[in-house]
Amino acid sequence: MSRHVIEEMLAIMAQLRDPEHGCPWDREQNFASIAPFTIEEAFEVAEAIAAGDMDGLRDELGDLLLQVIFHARMAEEQGLFDFSDVTRGLIDKMVRRHPHVFDDRQGASVAEIKTTWEAIKAAERAVTGVVHTSALDGVPQGLPALQRAAKLQKKAARVGFDWPEVAPVLAQVRAELAELEQAMQSGDAEAVADELGDVLFSAVNLSRHLRADADMALRGASHKFEQRFRLMEQQAADAGHTLDNLSSDELEALWRAAKQRLAAPDRV
């Protein structure tokens, strides 16, 4: 991307935020009000990637870049920093954290690169005065729950708090499900929610041990459910019905038919 294109986009954002002639909606925004849009755009980038939609990815990356520019503009208006500061900080960080590319440590192994990366991050925190007292520090509270659970587990694993293989992790999932069933029998809604959280947390741990991204796995399952459900609706409509006037048995039959129709040739 040329400097001219970036400058044009920065100028557009400045015009949108102009106190007198800008857009009323853009002018009234602040960091907090824009933050949800920033998160949403990041997820839409992930969705375009999952769908293999490269045209969509191009557009979504533009929308995500807009969020960065928006935040940088608001910061500039308050005399905090500007877009150049953001990009300069990023450039310095990437060069600093990749001595195996930009310095004299070329040929380092992946394990050495990870160790160096963590050491550099620790040094950066020391310079800024940020003191971490726990191995779990540095995991943002605002992360989506599945991602935050996985990051907490990875950090714990770095200091040895982890199962060495998959079998005990799977056993833990089963144990948590049993505890959930007990809570359900008790009728204690708070206990049910607590045990359900344990089930989900242990499922994320299982996905980590299986080297599968829990968030992407759940997205895939949701997409699969959506496809099957929409096909059920279509099949019901073809027969002159809607799903809400069918019996449980009829719904189950439609579900099985949709599942069979959409199954991969080698997976039913």
Write the CATH number for 86.
Answer: 1.10.287.1080
Domain count, the chain: 4
Mean pLDDT of the chain: 91
Q: How far is residue 170 from each of residues 145, 157, 182, 188, measured CA to CA in Å? A: 20, 17, 19, 26
Residue 70 reports pLDDT greater than 60? yes
Range of the domain at 36: 3-96
Residue 176 reports pLDDT greater than 60? yes
Task: Please check whether residue 139 lies inside any domain of the structure.
Answer: no
- Quick one: pLDDT at residue 264? 56
Report how far residue 116's alpha carbon sits from residue 265's, in angstroms, rounded to the nearest whole number: 46
- Quick one: pLDDT at residue 146? 92
N-to-C CA span, the chain: 46
Report how far residue 67's alpha carbon sits from residue 239's, in angstroms, rounded to the nearest whole number: 47
Task: Please check whether residue 134 lies inside any domain of the structure.
Answer: no
Domain co-membership, 104 together with 91: no
Task: Please check whether residue 179 lies inside any domain of the structure.
Answer: yes
Task: Please check whether residue 246 lies inside any domain of the structure.
Answer: yes
- Quick one: pLDDT at residue 2? 64
- Quick one: pLDDT at residue 266? 47
Domain co-membership, 181 together with 243: no
Task: Please check whether residue 245 lies inside any domain of the structure.
Answer: yes
Report how far residue 33's alpha carbon sits from residue 70's, in angstroms, rounded to the nearest whole number: 11
pLDDT digits (tens, 9 = 90+) for 218-229: 988 998 999 999
Task: Please check whether residue 136 lies inside any domain of the structure.
Answer: no
Domain co-membership, 178 together with 117: no
Report how far residue 70's alpha carbon sits from residue 25's, in angstroms, rounded to the nearest whole number: 13
CB atoms within 10 A of CB 56: 15
Asked if 198 contacts 169 with a C-beta cutoff of 8 angstroms, the reply is: no
Cα atoms in the Cβ-side hemisphere of radius 13 Å centred on 206: 17
Task: Please check whether residue 57 lies inside any domain of the structure.
Answer: yes
Nearest to 159 by CA among 183, 190, 136: 136
Domain co-membership, 225 together with 242: yes
Q: What integer is the mean pLDDT of 105-134?
A: 76
Domain co-membership, 56 together with 17: yes
Burial class of 170 by CB neighbour count within 10 A (0 to 12, 13 to 18, 19+): middle
Percent over 70 (pLDDT), the chain = 95
pTM: 0.65
pLDDT digits (tens, 9 = 90+) for 13-29: 999 999 999 999 999 99
- Quick one: pLDDT at residue 108? 72
DSSP codes, 163-217 = -SSHHHHHHHHHHHHHHHHHHHHHT-HHHHHHHHHHHHHHHHHHHHHTT--HHHH
Domain co-membership, 194 together with 109: no
